[in-house]
């Protein structure tokens, strides 16, 4: 054996002690598998001095028995061992479906060439260190492994929190958050869901109004019936009545056959009317009649059909103001607001951002088949500093884009995070030159100003094509036209 020449001591061998401070690696465990007794003793002194739980073995077979009995965060494994080699055992440990050891493996050897190193890394080694080595090499390798272990533990806790604290019921799937606003919302959903009354959901664009509507349906006696979502702003005004209530053959040009409406298909279940404020006046009148009489009349028909449907409506507009402006029927408004749910914007529930990020990471990692990203404290702090004017939808798109890029693009977050909207505009098609937030200590724009600048930048990019801009912004064309008309910038 060459125990005395396989390592080189360094000043890091004995870390300076700080009175009252916990050992830096307390809570982490290491198994060293090496047939050199001197190497095992050296690493034991160095690692226990830093607070590690330490165990040692002289062969792969002995190490396998240790792993079967005890959990270890990191395995330090010599390549040349009596019997089974270190690389052979590593391949078995990292084989698909083998749950024996999930931690990092650091390979060490005194006899290695490039082919051996490549083989080790391909087999799943986290690091490869040649003997003789300085202790600081091993310390740095372990520090990286322990950081990955810490992140894995933290993410496990957060995923468990997602499952248990957001809600234990699958009926509230997607209602992610533990903030006071989310707890109040989920409690109200539980209270309102069993009732037959119409519900109006209010909140900014992207806060998750459809998710809340689905939760209401899933927790209601109608859960076994259909849930039919309708984006009222995405349907042309001259077709909305036909889409909702159906039509008979010859009712209008192009009506070549009888057609049932969406209310018919929602019979026995729930119909969700999103962007209800975009309904044209004639459709508002018909919807009011449906709510009052539970009967629908297809366009061009003399016959009314009974429907058993619960109506849930949603809007990001101030419907009371729309009523005062004469753009929305007052009687329909009062009929819709029997029960009202208000969903807080994401900037008002910062504590939910980390949980939502983990939720979207887990979802898109599986959907896209891409490696998972770790939410480090620096990433979490940057995400929580940004006001998210696009709310949960914007966060979801940012997470998806991050997975595609292979890293969180923190350079787009800026000092307080306001520059993320600039990065999103660039991703949408080159509108990134538009300033969103001033640098330094200048005045911070309001969210309304940020929204206006971004929308106008996207419109400029689309050369004034309203339909294309609306698709990029994920809003209806009518919503886009209404905003631009309010700003006085529409030609």
Band the pLDDT of 335: cuts 50, 70, 90: very high
Segment 24-50 shows an average pLDDT of 89
Confidence at residue 171, expressed as pLDDT on a 0 to 100 scale: 52
Average pLDDT, the chain: 80
Same domain flag for 268 and 184: yes
- % pLDDT > 90, the chain: 27
Give residues with Cβ within 8 angstroms of 225, minimum separation 6.
Answer: 266, 267, 268, 269, 270
Segment 3-10 shows an average pLDDT of 40
Strands 270-274, 227-231: pairing kind: parallel
Same domain flag for 338 and 191: yes
Segment 271-286 shows an average pLDDT of 92
Q: Is the pLDDT of residue 144 over 60?
A: yes
Strand extents, DSSP E, 58-177: 74-78, 104-109, 127-130, 133-134
Q: How many domains are there within the chain? A: 3
Segment 272-295 shows an average pLDDT of 91
Q: Is the pLDDT of residue 16 over 60?
A: no
Q: Are 104 and 143 in contact (CB under 8 A)?
A: no
Same domain flag for 307 and 391: no
Strands 199-202, 227-231: pairing kind: unpaired
Same domain flag for 281 and 381: no
The CATH code of the domain that includes 116 is: 3.40.50.2300
Q: Are 151 and 376 in contact (CB under 8 A)?
A: yes
Band the pLDDT of 413: cuts 50, 70, 90: low
Same domain flag for 156 and 180: no
Q: Quick check: pTM over 0.85?
A: no
Same domain flag for 297 and 387: no
Q: Are 354 and 380 in contact (CB under 8 A)?
A: yes
Band the pLDDT of 23: cuts 50, 70, 90: low
Q: Is the pLDDT of residue 310 over 90?
A: yes
Same domain flag for 39 and 143: yes
- % pLDDT > 70, the chain: 81
Same domain flag for 72 and 52: yes
Same domain flag for 265 and 191: yes
DSSP calls for 302-319: S--EE---EEEEEESS-H
Same domain flag for 355 and 338: no
Q: Are 316 and 203 in contact (CB under 8 A)?
A: yes
The CATH code of the domain that includes 211 is: 3.40.50.300
Confidence at residue 159, expressed as pLDDT on a 0 to 100 scale: 60
Q: Are 144 and 126 in contact (CB under 8 A)?
A: yes
Q: Which domain holds residue 325?
A: 170-342
Q: Are 386 and 418 in contact (CB under 8 A)?
A: yes
Same domain flag for 198 and 305: yes
Q: Are 108 and 34 in contact (CB under 8 A)?
A: yes
Counting Cβ atoms within 10 Å, is residue 191 exposed (0-12), middle (13-18) or buried (19+)? exposed
Confidence at residue 414, expressed as pLDDT on a 0 to 100 scale: 38
Peptide bond connecting 132 to the previous residue in cis, omega within 30 degrees of 0: yes
């Amino acid at each position: 054996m060459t125990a005395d020449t396989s390592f080189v001591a360094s000043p890091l061998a004995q870390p300076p002690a700080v009175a009252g401070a916990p050992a830096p690696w307390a809570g982490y465990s290491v198994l060293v598998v090496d047939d050199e007794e001197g190497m095992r003793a050296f690493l034991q002194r160095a690692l226990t001095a830093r607070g590690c739980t330490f165990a040692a073995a002289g062969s792969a077979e002995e190490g396998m028995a240790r792993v079967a009995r005890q959990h270890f965060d990191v395995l330090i494994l010599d390549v040349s061992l009596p019997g089974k080699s270190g690389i052979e055992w590593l391949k078995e440990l990292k084989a698909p479906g083998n749950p024996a050891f999930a931690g990092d493996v650091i390979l060490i050897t005194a006899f290695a060439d490039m082919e051996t190193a490549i083989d080790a890394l391909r087999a799943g080694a986290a690091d490869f260190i040649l003997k003789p080595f300085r202790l600081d090499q091993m310390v740095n390798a372990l520090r990286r492994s322990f950081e990955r272990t810490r992140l894995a533990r933290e993410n496990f806790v957060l995923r468990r929190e997602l499952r248990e604290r957001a809600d234990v019921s699958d009926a509230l799937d997607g209602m992610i958050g533990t903030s006071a606003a989310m707890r109040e919302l989920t409690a109200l959903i539980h209270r309102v869901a069993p009732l037959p009354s119409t519900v109006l959901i209010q909140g900014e664009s992207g806060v998750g109004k459809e998710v809340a509507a689905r939760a209401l349906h899933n927790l209601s006696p109608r859960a076994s019936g259909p849930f039919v979502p309708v984006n009222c702003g995405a349907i042309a005004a001259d077709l909305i009545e036909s889409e909702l209530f159906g039509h008979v053959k010859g009712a209008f040009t192009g009506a070549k056959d009888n057609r049932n409406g969406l209310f018919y298909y929602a019979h026995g279940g729930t119909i969700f009317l999103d962007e209800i404020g975009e309904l044209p006046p004639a459709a508002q009148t018909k919807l009011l009649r449906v709510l009052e009489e539970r009967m629908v009349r297809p366009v061009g028909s003399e016959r009314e059909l009974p429907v058993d449907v619960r109506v849930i409506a949603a809007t990001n507009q101030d419907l009371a103001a729309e009523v005062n402006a004469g753009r929305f029927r007052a009687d329909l408004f009062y009929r819709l607001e029997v029960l009202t749910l208000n969903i807080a914007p994401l900037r008002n529930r910062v504590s939910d951002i980390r949980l939502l990020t983990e939720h979207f990471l887990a979802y898109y990692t599986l959907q896209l088949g891409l490696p998972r990203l770790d939410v480090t404290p620096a990433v979490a702090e940057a995400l929580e500093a940004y006001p998210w004017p696009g709310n949960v939808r914007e966060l979801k798109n940012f997470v998806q884009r991050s997975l595609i890029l292979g890293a969180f693009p923190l350079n787009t977050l800026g000092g307080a995070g306001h520059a993320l909207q600039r990065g999103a505009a660039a991703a949408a098609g080159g509108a990134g030159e538009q300033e969103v937030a001033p640098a330094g200590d200048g005045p911070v724009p309001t969210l309304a100003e940020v929204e206006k600048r971004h929308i106008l930048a996207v419109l400029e990019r689309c050369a004034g094509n309203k339909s294309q801009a609306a698709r990029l912004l994920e809003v209806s064309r009518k919503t886009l036209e209404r905003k631009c008309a309010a700003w006085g910038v529409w030609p």
